[in-house]
Amino acid sequence: MAISDVQLLHAWRDVLTLSNLKKGEAVTILSSNDTNQQNLNAARNAVIDLGGILTVIELPPTNGDLALSRDKTAFIGRTPLDGNKAAMAALKHSDLVIDLMLLLFSPEQAEILKGGTRMLLAVEPPEVLTRLKPTVEDKRRVTAAASILRKAKTMKVTSKAGTMMECELGDYPILTEYGFVDEPGRWDHWPSGFLATWPNEQTARGSMVIDRGDILLPFKSYVQSPITLKIENGYITKIEGEFDAEFLRSYMDSFHDREVYAISHIGWGLQPRAQWTALGLYDKEATLGMDARAFYGNFLFSTGPNPEAGGKRNTPCHIDIPLRNCSLSLDGVAMTINGKVVVADQMAA
């Protein structure tokens, strides 16, 4: 169902209020030709309503000739900010940037955040933003789990389908996504509700079984035949299975880049309002699939780049893979068991 302009305006007001937008702050909205116009209008009006000093920048699309689809995550790293000194100056001088375009994984995003600018990414359609509008409770749940993840030295993930993956932790930061930006230099994505980190280089090992019903992004497809990934020294070294395995292998091979096969961020979903089934109801180009990335109790792992964590692996192929029914433990303590969150539930009790 569509969302009314008024309802969306209220949602934007609420999220910008949670993001501590104060009267007189410089706010820049970054848009492109495929930015959702209802979102753009609502964001613009909410900023003005809250007393922000508004600038809107529209940049041309890039990478369209390189990506295999129009999905914003299909080819990442290089953005229209590359070499655009005027836009960069405006963004760096902003207190808050609202990214309706997708700067994720770009060096420019890191440079803007370094100066203390807050940055909120929002590219999902209005009804998804509204349904998954973040709350203070979302932040509490994610940051409580992050305080455990921050101290962990090892992660182990198993499943009845056959997953048995281990890695060491501690060299890379923790990524908390709760959907608003309430601190200087903070980046977040509305909607979200999960946390992640990156394995220490060359420590991820074992095998990962992507079972029937698990999701491949950016394909936005539910796997029909299990895929087994063999992982050695932080890289996927074998992809086995039937059609789905062949499809994944062929896509990754097409980048001709070994770094595509590295394990990237790993973590788990903590958003009770996100739904495993939501992706099945959408046209592929209408959503980024944040329900899939955030649904409660998923194990979300990914492949490819790690510049957002301060790493040097800059590769344009990034695949997010949310798995159901996994058991994830940190230093032997269970965070999820068979896809059910255990720690957050205990903390909430």
The answer to whether 95 and 26 are in contact (CB under 8 A) is yes
- Residues 6 to 65: which contact Fe ion by CB under 5 A? none
State yes or no: residue 211 binds Fe ion (CB under 5 A): no
Cis amide linkage into residue 218, ω under 30° from 0: yes
Alpha helices in 152-230, H assignment, sequence order: none
Tokens, residue 128: 């998804």
Residue 224 Cβ vs Fe ion, minimum distance, rounded to whole Å: 23
- Residues 55 to 114: which contact Fe ion by CB under 5 A? none
Residue 291 Cβ vs Fe ion, minimum distance, rounded to whole Å: 14
User: What's the rounded Cα separation, in Å, for the pair 252 and 257?
Assistant: 8
Our CB check for Fe ion shows the closer of 124 and 320 to be: 320
Instruction: Count the residues of the shown chain that bind Fe ion, applying the rule CB under 5 A.
Output: 2
Residue 217 Cβ vs Fe ion, minimum distance, rounded to whole Å: 8
The one among 320, 324, 341, 344 contacting Fe ion by CB under 5 A? 320
Contacts with Fe ion, 156-195, as mask; x by CB under 5 A = ----------------------------------------
Our CB check for Fe ion shows the closer of 81 and 300 to be: 300
Residue 240: strand pairing partners: 228
The one-letter amino acid at 91: L
Residue 320 Cβ vs Fe ion, minimum distance, rounded to whole Å: 4
Our CB check for Fe ion shows the closer of 52 and 297 to be: 297
Tokens, residue 295: 């649904």
Q: Strand order in 319-323's β-sheet?
A: 175-177, 194-197, 263-269, 299-303, 319-323
Tokens, residue 35: 């930015």
User: What's the rounded Cα separation, in Å, for the pair 337 and 342?
Assistant: 7
Contacts with Fe ion, 251-290, as mask; x by CB under 5 A = ----------------------------------------
Residue 293 Cβ vs Fe ion, minimum distance, rounded to whole Å: 7
State yes or no: residue 302 binds Fe ion (CB under 5 A): yes
Our CB check for Fe ion shows the closer of 36 and 73 to be: 73
Stretch that binds Fe ion, among 46-54, 142-150, 207-215, 294-302 (CB under 5 A): 294-302
Burial of residue 297 (CB within 10 Å: 0-12, 13-18, 19+) is buried
Distance of alpha carbon 195 from the chain centroid: 9
Residue 264 Cβ vs Fe ion, minimum distance, rounded to whole Å: 7
Distance of alpha carbon 341 from the chain centroid: 19
Our CB check for Fe ion shows the closer of 42 and 146 to be: 146
Please report, for residues 37, 104, 242, the alpha-carbon distance to residue 80 in angstroms, rounded to integers and kept in the order given: 19, 12, 39
Q: What are phi and psi of 107, to 5 degrees?
A: -65, -30
Our CB check for Fe ion shows the closer of 291 and 320 to be: 320
Our CB check for Fe ion shows the closer of 108 and 320 to be: 320
Of 189, 171, 172, 168, nearest to 180 by C-alpha is 189
Contact positions toward Fe ion, by CB under 5 A? Answer: 302, 320
